[in-house]
């Protein structure tokens, strides 16, 4: 917790994101040199760590599942803004940028965050438990959204290629936003108890380690700094993208792998928060973060892209390639088998991480 005895704005969780945002403002739209990029990389990592800290403060104040929702939505809103900006101002073919980014986020959350959380939690506590009803409804929503927006465009016939017609895109956008809104209502109002951390005996852990929640002023400060940290993470990732592109090219990887690297950086705050929660035997919080992020990535990105497509030149390809559809199908089946019992061991974590490794390997060697 922060203390006012020491100048609070000198605390690293406040100072690093503040300096990162200033650096972002000073260098945005310019071509910074290698030294500046190295400094920005340091503040990028610091902003990731600060985002995790402030997300935990906000989550402790508002309680679950609101805390997970705040972080998932905040990251996704800024990520969507970055996607739209790149599609409007980016060079070269950006027709698959939204699809590649959303699919990468889905695979990284469904297999990466879930796999790490299950592995860390089960290794420390031998077996982890969670609410199968709440997690199952979240998973069902993710699978439905992914199928409607990323699989169907490959099979529709009104437009050639993996594209929706304007009417089909409008339908997908409206249904995605409506389904996401319905889930948020279910998660936070109708059946909030389905998404609270669970004890091994089936009871609910509604308090976090019996610690006193932070004051309203501290929580509001952390909320503001969380947003600032996320802006810094996404913005600095964009500035670092030329270095990432050069590294990917030097390694001989396909140009599309740049999107995977950027998605990994953007999702770092949620990944770290999920792993820390799993270490405290609060795997339900980790699953809320994982599936909530995947859901928000689709449910908020597709409607925004649908509106932005009015001004975005060129086609908008949303349909997945066959190999990606196979990976999505395998991920959905394994996730269902993991969630149904309401408990998991290390094996389930390894299975999800193997699917993530397959996605990353096939992104390098398609």
**Those residues with Cβ within 8 angstroms of residue 252's Cβ, 6 or more apart along the chain or in another chain:** none
Is the pTM for the entire model greater than 0.85? no
Distance, in Å, from the CA atom of 263 to the CA atom of 108, rounded to the nearest integer, reads: 8
Mean pLDDT of 177-206: 77
What residue ranges do the domains of the chain occupy? Answer: 9-364
Q: What is the dihedral of CA 278, 280, 283, 286, to 10 degrees?
A: -60
Task: Kindly indicate the confidence band of residue 4, based on its pLDDT and cuts at 50, 70 and 90.
Answer: very low
Mean pLDDT of 290-316: 85
Mean pLDDT of 101-109: 90
pLDDT of residue 56: 73
DSSP state, 154? G
- At residue 129, φ and ψ (nearest 5 deg) are -125, 150
**Does pLDDT of 84 surpass 90?**
no
241: β partners? none
**Superfamily of chain region 9-364:** NCX, central ion-binding region (1.20.1420.30)
Percent of the residues in the chain that have a pLDDT greater than 70, as a whole number: 89
**Does pLDDT of 183 surpass 70?**
yes
The CB density around residue 235, as the number of other CB atoms within 10 Å, is: 23
Q: What is the pLDDT of residues 199-228, one digit of tens each?
A: 665 555 555 444 567 787 888 888 888 888
The CB density around residue 289, as the number of other CB atoms within 10 Å, is: 32
């Amino acid at each position: 917790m922060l203390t006012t005895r020491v100048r609070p704005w000198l605390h690293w969780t406040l100072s690093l994101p503040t300096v990162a945002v200033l650096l972002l403002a000073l260098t945005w739209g310019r071509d910074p040199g290698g030294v500046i990029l190295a400094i920005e990389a340091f503040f990028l990592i610091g902003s990731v760590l600060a985002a995790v800290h402030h997300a935990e403060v906000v989550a402790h104040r508002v309680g679950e599942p609101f805390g997970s929702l705040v972080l998932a939505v905040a990251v996704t809103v800024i990520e969507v803004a970055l996607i739209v900006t790149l599609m409007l101002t980016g060079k070269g073919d950006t027709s698959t940028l939204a699809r590649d980014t959303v699919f990468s986020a889905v695979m990284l959350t469904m297999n990466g965050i879930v796999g790490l959380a299950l592995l860390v939690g089960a290794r420390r506590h031998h077996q982890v438990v969670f609410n199968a009803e709440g997690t199952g409804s979240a998973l069902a929503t993710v699978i439905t959204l992914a199928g409607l927006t990323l699989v169907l465009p490959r099979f529709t016939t009104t437009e050639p290629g993996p594209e929706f017609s304007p009417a089909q895109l409008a339908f997908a956008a409206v249904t995605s936003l409506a389904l996401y809104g319905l889930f948020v209502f279910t998660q936070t109002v109708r059946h909030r108890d389905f998404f609270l951390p669970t004890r091994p005996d089936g009871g609910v852990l509604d308090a976090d380690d019996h610690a006193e929640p932070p004051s309203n002023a501290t929580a509001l400060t952390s909320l503001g700094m969380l947003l600032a940290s996320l802006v810094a993470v996404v913005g600095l990732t964009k500035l670092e993208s030329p270095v990432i592109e050069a590294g990917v090219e030097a390694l001989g990887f396909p140009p599309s792998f740049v999107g995977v690297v950027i998605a990994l950086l953007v999702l770092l705050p949620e990944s770290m928060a999920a792993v820390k929660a799993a270490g405290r035997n609060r795997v339900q919080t980790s699953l809320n973060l994982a599936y909530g992020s995947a859901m928000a990535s689709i449910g908020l990105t597709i409607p925004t892209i649908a509106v932005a497509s009015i001004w975005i030149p060129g086609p908008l390809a949303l349909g997945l390639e066959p190999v990606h559809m196979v990976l999505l199908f395998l991920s959905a089946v394994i996730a269902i088998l993991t969630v149904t019992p309401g408990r998991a061991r290390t094996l389930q974590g390894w299975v999800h991480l193997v699917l993530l490794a397959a996605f990353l390997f096939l992104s390098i060697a398609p």
